[in-house]
Chain A
Amino acid sequence: MIPVAPPSPESLLEVKNLKVSFFTSDGVVDAVQDVSFEIRRGQTLALVGESGSGKSVTAYSILRLVQSPGRILGGRIVLRSRREGDIDIAQLDEDSGLLFKVRGGLVSMIFQEPMTALSPVHSIGSQVAEAILVHQVVSAAAARRLTIEMLKKVGITHPAQRFDQYPHELSGGMRQRVVIAMALVCQPELLIADEPTTALDVTIQAQILGLIKNLQHEFGCSVLLITHDFGVVAQMADEVAVMHRGQIVERGSVREVLRNPQHAHTRALLDALPSRRGSPV
Chain B
Amino acid sequence: MSTPVEPLLSLRGLCKYFPVYGRGFRQKEIGLIKAVDDVSIDLLPGESFGLVGESGSGKTTMARCILRALAPTAGEVWFRLPDGRTVDLVKLTDRELKPIRQHAQMVFQDPFSSLNPRMNVRDIVGEPLVIHGLAAGAELDDRVSEVLRRVGLQPEHRSRYPHAFSGGQRQRIGIARALIMRPSLIVCDEATSALDVSVQAQVLDLLKELQREFQLTYLFVAHNLEVVRNFCDRVAVMRKGRIVELAPAKQIFSAPQHAYTKILLSAVPSPDPDVRMNFNVGEELAKLDAAG
Contacts and interface: CB of A to CB of B under 8 A. Distances in A.
Contact of A235 (B264, B273, B285): B273
Interface string A255-281: 100100000000011101111111100
B227 interface: yes
Given A202-B268, A207-B281, A229-B269, A274 B198 contact: no
A235 B277 contact: yes
A62 B281 CA distance: 33
Contacts of A277: 201, 230
Interface in B28-86: 54-55
Contacts of B230: 274-275, 277-279
A274 B227 contact: yes
Given A202-B225, A205-B267, A255 B196 contact: no
A50 B278 contact: no
B224 interface: yes
B269 A205 contact: yes
B267 A203 contact: yes
A186 B97 CA distance: 59
Contacts of A229: 269
Interface in B146-184: 167
B22 interface: no
A10 interface: no
A142 interface: no
Interface in A191-221: 201-207, 209-210, 213
A209 B226 contact: no
A235 B269 contact: yes
B223 A201 contact: yes
Interface residues of B, number: 36
B270 interface: yes
A71 interface: no
Contacts of A274: 197, 200-201, 204, 224, 226-227, 229-231
Contacts of B167: 51
A273 B226 contact: yes
Contacts of A276: 271
Interface in A62-85: none
B220 to A, nearest CB: 12
B166 to A, nearest CB: 9
Contacts of A205: 267, 269
Interface residues of A, number: 37
B273 A202 contact: no
Interface in A216-238: 228-236
Instruction: Give the one of B55, B198, B230, B273 with max A CB within 10 A.
Output: B273
Interface in A23-78: 50-51
Interface in B255-284: 263-264, 266-273, 276-282
Contacts of A201: 54-55, 223
Contact of A272 (B201, B225, B264, B279): B201
Nearest to A212: B279
Contacts of A268: 198
A228 B271 contact: no
B270 A235 contact: yes
Contacts of A270: 271
A229 B223 CA distance: 15
B269 A272 contact: no
A226 B226 CA distance: 21
A234 B54 CA distance: 23
B277 A206 contact: yes
Nearest to B199: A50
Given A50-B197, A203-B264, A206-B279, A232 B269 contact: yes
B200 A234 contact: no
Contact of B197 (A155, A228, A235): A228
Contact of B280 (A155, A210, A230, A275): A210
B275 to A, nearest CB: 8
Central interface residue in A228, A229, A274, A277, by most chain B CB within 10 Å: A274
Contacts of A269: 197-198
Contacts of A106: none
Top 10 A-B pairs ranked by shortest CB distance?
A210-B279, A231-B269, A206-B267, A274-B226, A272-B198, A272-B201, A230-B271, A50-B196, A201-B54, A235-B269
26 contacts: A50-B197, A201-B54, A201-B223, A202-B224, A202-B267, A203-B282, A206-B266, A206-B267, A206-B280, A207-B282, A209-B269, A209-B279, A234-B270, A234-B271, A235-B276, A235-B277, A258-B271, A269-B198, A272-B200, A273-B226, A274-B204, A274-B226, A274-B231, A275-B271, A276-B271, A278-B230
